[in-house]
Structures are given as C-alpha cells and as structure tokens.
Amino acid sequence: MKKIQFADQKQEFNKRPSKIGRRSLSRSISQSSTDSYSSAASYTDSSDDETSPRDKQQKNSKGNGDFCIKNIKQADFGRREIEIAEQEMPALMALRKRAQGEKPLAGAKIVGCTHITAQTAVLMETLSALGAQCRWAACNIYSTQNERSRVGESEDDFWWCIDRCVNVEGWQPNMILDDGGDLTHWIYKKYPSMFKKIKGIVEESVTGVHRLYQLSKAGKLCVPAMNVNDSVTKQKFDNLYCCRESILDGLKRTTDVMFGGKQVVVCGYGEVGKGCCAALKAMGSIVYVTEIDPICALQACMDGFRLVKLTEVIRQVDIVITCTGNKNVVVRENLDRMKNGCIVCNMGHSNTEIDVSSLRTPELTWERVRSQVDHVIWPDGKRIVLLAEGRLLNLSCSTVPTFVLSITATTQALALIELYNAPEGRYKQDVYLLPKKMDEYVASLHLPTFDAHLTELSDEQAKYLGLNKNGPFKPNYYR
C-alpha cells in the first residue's frame, strides 16, 4: 500500500472548502489522510449528515482511500487550525528546521493513539518531517470538540479504528506512541507477533504508564518503554499548568457555573489536582481535597486546602472533580448522597474514576441537557449534572492550551527519536524515564517565546557544583 508523505499533503489541505464538521474526524487515520485529519476542534452546521464514516467510500485527490473521516471535502478550515497551532508550538517547529539536513526517524513506522486535535496534527507533520511514516487513532471517543456539536463515536468505532491503524497489509509499525495504553493493549491482545519488530513504546498518561509497569512486573513487557508522563516537562506543564486553565474552561462551557463561593471537592492532589485546586481557589471557590498519599496530602494542607474524606463532604459540595487515574473513586453510594444539582466530572485520563455504569439502572432517568451534559434524575426528583459521561473533561468539553501541548508533543517526539535510534542493549524490556538532558532540552526550546535568557555557569561554578555547564542540571530522579 503506497504511503503519501506529509510534504505532498500541505497543498492538499489548501484546496478544500472551509466548512468543517465536528464529526469530520473519526478515529482511524493513515498518513495519507492527515489533510482531512486536521479538522479537529472545528465548527459545524446543523446540516452535517449523520452517516457513519465507516460506511463512506472516500478518496483524497491522490486517489488514496486509506482513512476514516467524516468528510474529506471539509479540510481547508482544518489547515488554518493547524497554522494557528503552529504559532504556539515553537519547539516542534524548531525540530523541523534542525532536521532539514538529517532524518532521525527515517524508516520509523509510528502508530499513534492520542487525543485528536490540530496540535496533534502538528506533531504528526513534525514526525513526518523527521522521516517517519504515521498511522493514527484517537485515545478517547470525545477526543475532539467544537462549539456547537460535541459528539464522539461509539465504543465499537473506537476499537475498529485502532484495529485499522494496526492491521494493514504491507505496513507494520515499529514504534508505538500511546495515551492510556489502549493501543498497546490491543496489539498485545490481537497481534502479539508484531512486537518482534517494534523497537519501543512511548506512553504519556498515568493510566497507560501504570499498565506498562504491571506488564513489566509480570515479565510480559517485551519491548523497551518510555514513561513520558513522569518527565518533568510533562508533569509540571501539561498536568499542572494546562489543567489550571482548562478545568475552568470545561466547567464554564458546559454548565455556565459561577465559581465564587462554590464548595468543590477535588479527588487527588497530584499535578492535575494541584492545577485544578489553584484555579478554583483563585476564583473564590471553597476547595476540599481527598488524597491517599501523605506527601501529597501534606502539600495540600500547606497550600491552604482542607484535607477530607469524600464521605465527609459529599452531601454539601456543589462540584466533585476526580483527578487520580484510579478506578471507582466516586461510587454509587457517593452519588446517592450528593445534593441536588451537584456537578460531577473527571479530569483524570480514564473514564473509570466515576462509576457511571452504576447510574444506568431502571430507577434513574437520564436527560440530555446539551452536548456532553446529562442530568441523572433520582425517583425523588434529585438530579446531578454529569459531564462527558465521566470521561476526560477538558478534552471532551473544552480545549487545552496549545503552548502546553507543544511541550508535551516535543517530549513525545524526542522520546520516539531516543528509543528508535538507541543502540542495541541500551534499553532492556523495561519502563524508563526520559533522560533529564532531553527534559531540559524541551524546556530550552520554549524559552525564546518569552525572550528569556538563561544564565550560564562559569567553569569554576560548574566545577563547584559537580555539573557539566551545559547540563543536565538535575539528577534523573528529580521530578
């Protein structure tokens, strides 16, 4: 099957009309269809037909039909979305310029499963500029959104599209970029022999990393894996600063809620929880925190939040937010005790934090208020407001700051380059953290945006600290 390179695709984008549909992007994309894929986070009109992309036979202008999207004719707006994103993704653009004379990913065949946004398109085009071929699916059925119609595909579509990315005649991946571990799980389950040619896995979420460590502990991880979720640049920027902005955006767009004076409980005080708590506190909310880790719990207390058990405040809070990456954090018993009108949402990766399945019982009534907003009504008339059916709030109901995604995407790109080019024996069948030198390199690529100027150590200072004056400046265990 012939692969079309990104270099051939830019003019393909610019030939297309400007209207774009929310459901223009399904989850399975080959490198030959990224011209259409760019339509993430776009606007739609009410005439957008509801035919499943799986039932459509479409081809791009080069005659290639190896993709699954809503409407290939609606891509011009998507290209403009990508061009906007490129302005806030300086590090990826810098990588492209620096790779003009070299292709560190030449021969790489990357299969990705991440959130589908215009920012992801910038990453994909960067990987292509570095020499890779890509096939992509989304890691969340509500991965993309627009202002008027936030509708994802079904669970069946979810797995179908992942399979279409992997099970391709004449094309086999040799690198995996995953967000949540579903792609890795699918290959282990359906195509385990593929791991004979796969050089490594790059994983960026708490949930996916947890799965990898479980595989490693059980002796079932058969390729090296890079845990970029716990890299400093991912933890401190994507998880903290991103969520500090997007939690407010997601809640405002879906519920129009006033934050001042509201009582909010945030479950989990990791980096995501810290960002959410800081934003809500700044808006005048009364914020409670639940936590299992005494270190994070102490941090919450020192930051001025009251540490509680969920059961202690569940009857009085106006908003419940989960940020743990765990399962069954909010269960039916908690949901039964919530006050009328309580807003319930999830900022962790997985949809398992809120026990939504326990709400699908005959005695409860579900009422769709607007896209991604449901009232769940009890027999006595009490109702809670459930957002995105318990899935990730910010990427289901709002947007994520592009600059933060630039940091994360650059970290992913460098991790792919490192694993792909590593000499045999450097990495064993285990889970590794991104080397600190690369973490610092990601940060340094973003500093020019702020006209920031780093101070340089003198030789004497570097010797005194026992450091190379060019870094790394932190030990590998630093987070």
User: What is the residue extent of each domain of the chain?
Assistant: 66-230+401-434, 241-397
Q: Which CATH number fits domain 66-230+401-434: 1.20.1250.20, 3.40.449.10, 3.40.50.1480, 3.40.50.300?
A: 3.40.50.1480
For each of the chain's 479 residues, which pLDDT tens digit applies? 333 333 333 333 333 333 333 333 333 444 444 443 333 333 233 344 566 777 777 777 677 777 787 777 777 888 898 999 999 999 999 999 877 778 999 999 999 999 888 899 999 999 999 999 999 998 877 665 443 233 456 788 889 999 999 998 889 999 999 999 999 999 999 999 999 999 999 999 888 999 999 999 999 999 999 999 988 888 888 888 989 999 999 999 999 999 999 999 999 999 999 999 999 999 999 999 999 999 999 999 999 999 999 999 999 999 999 999 899 999 999 999 999 999 999 998 678 899 999 999 999 999 999 989 999 999 999 999 999 999 989 878 887 889 989 999 999 999 999 999 999 899 999 999 988 999 999 999 999 999 999 999 999 999 999 999 999 998 887 77
- CATH topology identical between 66-230+401-434 and 241-397: yes
**Residues in the annotated binding site:** 117, 179, 204, 234, 238, 270-275, 291, 394
**Residues in the annotated binding site for NAD(+):** 270-275, 291, 394
- Domain 241-397: state its class: alpha beta
pTM metric for this prediction: 0.77
**Residues in the annotated binding site for substrate:** 117, 179, 204, 234, 238
Can you give the three-state secondary structure of the chain, one letter per residue?
A: CCCCCHHHCHHHHCCCCCCCCHHHECCCEEHHHHHHHCCCCCCCCCCCCCCCHHHCCCCCCCCCCCCCECCCCCCHHHHHHHHHHHHCCHHHHHHHHHCCCCCCCCCCEEEEEECCCHHHHHHHHHHHHCCCEEEEEECCCCCCCCCCCCCCCCHHHHHHHHHHHHCECCECCCEEEECCCHHHHHHHHHCHHHHHCCCEEEECCHHHHHHHHHHHHCCCCCCCEEECCCCHHHHHHHHHHHHHHHHHHHHHHHHCCCCCCCEEEEECCCHHHHHHHHHHHHCCCEEEEECCCHHHHHHHHHCCCEECCHHHHCCCCCEEEECCCCCCCECHHHHHHCCCCCEEEECCCCCCCECHHHHCCCCCEEEEEECCEEEEECCCCCEEEEEHHHCEHHHHHCCCCHHHHHHHHHHHHHHHHHHHHCCCCCCCCCEEECCHHHHHHHHHHHHHHHCCCCCCCCHHHHHHHCCCCCCCCCCCCCC
